[in-house]
């Protein structure tokens, strides 16, 4: 994740961050299902989504929201 993206996430309100986290988790679940079915071509995308979700979760915990 680039510094610009991280700064954008830090400046977002808690409600938007929670919505983003929810969306990332849903997308991750869909990718895992597709991976099992053999439909996923870009496996690295799963790792990127996991990392972004972890960053969002960390930011939420730091702000206490």
How does residue 52 score in pLDDT terms, banded at 50, 70 and 90? very high
- Residue with the bigger pLDDT between 63 and 51: it is 51
Q: How far apart are CA 48 and CA 65, in angstroms?
A: 24
Tens digits of residue pLDDT in 3-27 = 999 999 999 999 999 999 999 999 9
Q: Average pLDDT over the chain, rounded to whole?
A: 93
Q: Using a cut of 0.85, tell me whether the model's pTM lies above it.
A: yes
Q: Percent of the chain beyond pLDDT 70?
A: 98
Q: Considering its fold, how many domains does the chain have in total?
A: 1
State the residue range of the domain holding 51: 3-63
Contact criterion met (CB below 8 Å) for 34 and 46: no
- pLDDT at residue number 64: 80
């Amino acid at each position: 994740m680039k510094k610009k993206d991280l700064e954008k996430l830090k400046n977002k309100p808690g409600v938007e961050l929670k919505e983003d986290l929810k969306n990332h988790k849903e997308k991750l679940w869909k990718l895992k299902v597709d991976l099992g079915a053999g439909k996923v071509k870009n496996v690295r995308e799963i790792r990127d989504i996991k990392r972004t979700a972890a960053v969002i979760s960390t930011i939420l915990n730091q702000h206490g929201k």
